[in-house]
Amino acid sequence: MTTILYEHPLNERIRNYLKLEQLFAQAYSYIKDEVTNGNFHTHYQVFFNAVFAITDTLDRNDIRGDLIKDLEKLQQNLVVWSQAPDIDTSALEDNLKEAVALTSRLKSSSQTWGQLKDHKLIASLRKRSAIQGGSSSFDLPQLQFWLHQPCEKISADVRLWLSCLDDIKQSLALVLKFIRQRDQFQPIETDSGFYQDNGEGLLLLRIKIAKSEQYYPTISGNKFRYSIRFMLPCDQSGSRYSKQATKFQLARC
């Protein structure tokens, strides 16, 4: 059965993690799809906007410090889990080595993404990104020149810029992987299109709904309690509350 996955963070740290994960996906998708196919010059703004949003998020929040704490906690848990019977020791050791290496690199390295803000082309484009049409060719001839370089040159530059964010990206992926593995999906049914429960100790809610269903969840809550209200699309008001019997799958991570 084809499903749609919805995720909702229950604290600000996880909210930032999910935002960054999505922004990284946008930025890296353009290496694979646009740069290699020679279409980067028509879609470059999505890439740069994602990079700007990533660096802004890293500057406004101590993401590096949060990731270090989460990686250190993960290392402790992996050591404990290694004592359990029937554990896949090979996979566990690989994850432990990765966590240790990433923690070391995050602790020893400075804010490498700062190099992106100092790059002349990126800085020029960033200044004009908030202006409608601010990256027009007559305003930024340097950008126009760069966009018409060979694909190999553009690809090399893009990969070099993104390498400044590699440690953050890899740490984020590892931490989120284990957060999502904290619980399995369980089938749930409600009669009224509304569901609520205790959220103590939870970080993330994951909801799967069959793609054939015509409702979607809106979620509110925190680490103490959460509620899920299902909505129906409506041409007049945009959406309306669903009062019908509702089936979905829920993982409380």
Is pTM beyond 0.85? Reply is yes
Tokens 């964010």 map to which residue?
165
- Residue 3 belongs to some domain of the structure: no
For residue 157, give the nearest of 170, 147, 144 by alpha carbon: 147
Residue with more model confidence, 207 or 130: 207
- Residue 5 belongs to some domain of the structure: no
Q: What is the CATH number of the domain that holds 176?
A: 1.10.3900.10
Find out whether 23 and 30 touch, Cβ atoms under 8 Å: no
Question: What's the pLDDT at 233?
Answer: 85
Q: Do both 58 and 124 map to the same domain? A: yes
> 3-class SS at 22?
helix
Q: Kind and range of the H or E element at 7?
A: strand 3-9
Measured distance CA(117)–CA(143) in Å, rounded: 16
According to DSSP, residue 1 is labeled -
Q: What percent of the chain has pLDDT over 90?
A: 48
Domain that holds residue 168: 12-180
**CB-based contacts of 91, cutoff 8 Å, min separation 6:** none
- Residue 153 belongs to some domain of the structure: yes
Q: Do both 125 and 240 map to the same domain? A: no
Q: Tell me the average pLDDT across 61-81.
A: 92
Measured distance CA(47)–CA(37) in Å, rounded: 15
Report whether pLDDT(215) > 70. Answer: yes
Q: Do both 214 and 116 map to the same domain? A: no
